[in-house]
Structure 1
Amino acid sequence: MRAAFAVASLTAASLTLAACSSATSSDAGDGGNTVTIASWYEDQVIGTTIEAANDALAADDITLEYTQIPLDQYNTWLSTQLASGEGPDIIMDGASFPARVAAGNLVDISGDDVIAGFTKEGLALASDADGKVYGVPSYGWFSGIFYNKDLFEQAGAEVPSTFDEFLETADALTAAGIKPMTAGLADSDKAIHSLMGYLENAYYHNGEGSPEVDTEFAYGETTLDGNWNDAVSTWSKVIDHGVLTPEMLGTPLTQAVAEFSNGEAAMYISGPWDYQDIKDAGINFGMFSHVGNDPANQWLLGGPAASMGVNVDSERPEQALKALRALASPEAMQATVDANPGAFSYLEGVEGTFPAEYELITPLLSEGHVSVGWDRWGVNMPAQTMLDTLTKGLQSVVGGQESTDDLVKQLDAQADSIRY
């Protein structure tokens, strides 16, 4: 998952990346062999995965038909479809997959071989409190901070290993007349990644809290108010130091990507989904981790990108399960990580590739130092709703309309209204 924003459009055109087959979507109503799946992923992310799955399904005369739905509409589209007993045969979702499990939208696949070989961490978002499994992960995502090596050298700036050093680096870049960071806060999750990346490093793993705080919060056993306050207040120094600015609230994500790729800003928070476009731009870049208190114990933000399961209302459940097995095959999983340099798989035996630009973060990926709070929230609440609240709240904090304490209390209030 490209982090946590997933939403959809009823007018989106269907993108069929399938081998030739006698089956078509028109025969779906009378038991045809076309199995549908949708997500927000572009062709370059998932296209070869669909092709590999279709190669495996050809012997059964099954065609997997993929539809891309716009990222900013997917959650609404999928929720509407499922509420009416419809939707794609294979449900694909990210932070909201646990909500689909809780709503009874997915088939229990606990006893099927399709889950064999996946790690416990990979299956976590697709499992319920009783340990039943309803889906498998597509691949693992992570985010860190891309940086322009030439601009760092020009400013005499060092790659930071702590938050204090990060602020010093931003100041050095500003003093050299270089924009420290670009972030499309008008329509992206970059502020969330900035905050949660800091918390993962400075609070959950190297501070006053621990990951268990999030699970307790999800079940209503504790509040963020009284836990997060000091850490979020410290993080807000990125606003004081010009890393995130009110002007960025009017900047769309496309402009932010262009600014970094064109060498107009020194840093950009992102992950493997933007790697190739940045690489193609020809700049000299690398990536370092989100940072906190301990340079020897750094954590990237990330987790299962999206989980996939069979729609309980599918009119062709047997074919859908076969398609899910094909998508979960080593061949399809390998195709996914090959198409997303730096991505990793939760399926044993599938290895990703780590480009030279990932030199500083490769040890963290190898050690499994990839984690994110909203995955832990998902065990007992629709995490996407929390992320929507966090997005708006952070925009207000960056814009100076509310305090960090106000933001924390808003999250508590939202959680109280949406727990399962």
Structure 2
Amino acid sequence: MKRKLIAAIGVAAMTATVAACGSGDDGGSGGSSDSITVWLMDGSAPEPWVEELSAAFEAEHDVEVNVEIQQWDGIQDRVITALSEDGTVDVLEIGNTHTVGYANTGGLADLADFADEPWNAPMLESTRVDDTLYAVPWYGANRVVIYDKGIWEEAGAEVPTTRDEWITALETIQENTDAEPIYLPGQSYYVMGGFVADAGGTFAVEEGDGWAGSLATPEGQAGMEFYAELQAFSNAPTDIDEAEPQQSTDVVPNGNVASWIGLGWEAAGAIAAIEEQGGEADFGYFPVPGETADQLGHVFLGGSNLAVSGRAGNSELANEWLRMATSQEWAQKFVDANNGGVVPNRTDVTASPEPGSFAEAMVASADVGYLPPLTTGWANVETLPNPIKELMTQALNGDDYQSAAEEADAEITERINRE
């Protein structure tokens, strides 16, 4: 039976794309008794894994699996629309920080039958609302420190295992080379959030029936102070983030950068950009250090969950596909297909990345991953102008931290409690 791997490329094209993907002429493959529609995000799953899983599921259930590849740009609008319609999609991948919001729309099915699987505990946190399971973990990813081996060797800097050693390495690079010790723009707030988490804090805390910003605290200030200590070694402006300009393709390949903090796809992008310019990248990787050698620094644990639409055309088949895709067998195959470069969703799955690889450094930090407040209103906080970013710029520019943080907390509190 023919399998379909289809790219959906935008909000305007969604209706036409979904209709074109259906089996038969009913225009809604999710509503067909002999097919199932699965939405996966661009870049999430290696195509061989998708094809092998689809073939196995089709053989077992005698149905057609239509996998539609979605782009991240505009995905929230497409998902909300799909969850309000009958039979548009059966199973869908959703970002872990967006799961609560989609669940609160009433569009996701209750997955209580999946609760007893040996899920990765930090990843599982993003799948529940009021003890109801609305999704299951699929994979995680986090940032590590990426460094230029040649520059570090020239400087005589050693790979650190603690914060103090990290600062010493940056000082050594600054003293012995012309390189920028670390590229760290002023508004990389998920990096800063890890330092806040190291101190025992968070961006916002639950308060009564709502949430309240919590950066005007000793923990918030401690996190920001360490971020500022690192940022002092960077030439990056204090009023931009890592995406504009994109650090991996616009900054690192065109500058003399000794180190930076990034994700796996950013490391790959930097390597490709350097090679396109005729150069050769020689990167090393290490986890974000903690205050002591036996405790790594906290890192934002991004990633995706898998959920079933409450209006799935075939909820029974949707649950069966979800069970197969996240089983120990297929979860292990997924990790292996990614060369160990993702954080496994289950405790009975092992990531075995190559020694010295980005993946090895990333997986080492998986147990100290943190998540932002898991509530629908968190998306409002991240909308520009982001109050956390503005606080960071003010602090780096020398403004009084406490006053600026109190203003940021008030804005966070107002936004996060807004549906």
TM-score for the superposition, normalised by structure 1: 0.76
1:250 to 1:12, Cα distance in 2 relative to 1, 3 A: farther
- Correspondences of 1:77-116 after superposition (within 5 Å): 77-82=78-83, 88-94=89-95, 95-112=97-114, 116=117
Q: Give the aligned partner of residue 180 of structure 2.
A: 179
Q: Give the aligned partner of residue 223 of structure 1.
A: 214
* 1:137, distance to aligned residue in structure 2 (A): 0.9
Contact in 1 for aligned 2:184/2:261 (Cα 8 Å): yes
* 1:338, distance to aligned residue in structure 2 (A): 2.2
Counterpart secondary structure, 2:211: coil
- Correspondences of 1:346-365 after superposition (within 5 Å): 346-358=345-357, 365=363
1:70 to 1:58, Cα distance in 2 relative to 1, 3 A: closer
Match of 2:308 among 291, 303, 310: 310
1:31 to 1:249, Cα distance in 2 relative to 1, 3 A: closer
Amino acid at match of 1:321: N
Q: Give the aligned partner of residue 70 of structure 1.
A: 71
* 1:218, distance to aligned residue in structure 2 (A): 9.2
Contact in 1 for aligned 2:193/2:203 (Cα 8 Å): no
Per-residue CA distance 1:231-276 (angstroms, 9 max, x = gap): 3244223333326424865964655346446784222322334455
Match of 2:299 among 290, 301, 306: 301
| Counterpart-to-counterpart distance in 2, 1:99 and 1:251 | 24
Pairing 1:338–2:339 present: no
Counterpart secondary structure, 1:91: strand
| Counterpart-to-counterpart distance in 1, 2:213 and 2:413 | 11
Per-residue CA distance 1:313-361 (angstroms, 9 max, x = gap): 2222222222222321334322332233332212243211222224996
Per-residue CA distance 1:96-129 (angstroms, 9 max, x = gap): 102222222211111258x523244432211222
Pairing 1:53–2:53 present: yes
| Counterpart-to-counterpart distance in 1, 2:141 and 2:317 | 28
* 1:135, distance to aligned residue in structure 2 (A): 1.4
- Correspondences of 1:127-276 after superposition (within 5 Å): 127-129=128-130, 131-175=131-175, 176-182=177-183, 191-201=188-198, 203-204=199-200, 209=201, 214=205, 219-220=210-211, 223-227=214-218, 228-242=220-234, 244-246=236-238, 252=244, 254=246, 256-257=248-249, 259-260=251-252, 264-274=256-266, 276=268
Pairing 1:385–2:376 present: no
Contact in 2 for aligned 1:146/1:268 (Cα 8 Å): yes
Counterpart secondary structure, 2:356: helix
Contact in 2 for aligned 1:25/1:34 (Cα 8 Å): no
Counterpart secondary structure, 1:307: strand
Percent of aligned pairs with the same amino acid: 17
Q: Give the aligned partner of residue 4 of structure 1.
A: none
Counterpart secondary structure, 2:52: helix
| Counterpart-to-counterpart distance in 1, 2:209 and 2:153 | 44
Contact in 1 for aligned 2:195/2:297 (Cα 8 Å): no
Counterpart secondary structure, 1:322: helix
> RMSD over aligned Cα, in angstroms?
4.0
Counterpart secondary structure, 1:200: helix
Pairing 1:126–2:109 present: no
Amino acid at match of 1:342: G
* 1:77, distance to aligned residue in structure 2 (A): 3.3
1:384 to 1:64, Cα distance in 2 relative to 1, 3 A: farther
| Counterpart-to-counterpart distance in 1, 2:203 and 2:72 | 30
- Structure 1 unaligned runs (5+)? 1-7
Match of 2:413 among 407, 412, 415: 415
1:299 to 1:283, Cα distance in 2 relative to 1, 3 A: same
Contact in 1 for aligned 2:37/2:89 (Cα 8 Å): yes
| Counterpart-to-counterpart distance in 1, 2:243 and 2:114 | 46
Higher strand share: 2
* 1:217, distance to aligned residue in structure 2 (A): 9.5
Amino acid at match of 1:269: I
* 1:42, distance to aligned residue in structure 2 (A): 1.6
Amino acid at match of 1:245: P
Q: Give the aligned partner of residue 3 of structure 1.
A: none
1:86 to 1:279, Cα distance in 2 relative to 1, 3 A: same
| Counterpart-to-counterpart distance in 1, 2:150 and 2:92 | 43
Contact in 2 for aligned 1:50/1:64 (Cα 8 Å): no
Contact in 1 for aligned 2:183/2:259 (Cα 8 Å): yes
Q: Larger Rg: 1 or 2?
A: 2
Q: How many pairs align?
A: 392
Contact in 2 for aligned 1:40/1:70 (Cα 8 Å): yes
| Counterpart-to-counterpart distance in 1, 2:68 and 2:380 | 24
1:105 to 1:49, Cα distance in 2 relative to 1, 3 A: farther
1:217 to 1:295, Cα distance in 2 relative to 1, 3 A: farther
Per-residue CA distance 1:48-72 (angstroms, 9 max, x = gap): 3422320221122333333333334
Contact in 1 for aligned 2:38/2:92 (Cα 8 Å): yes
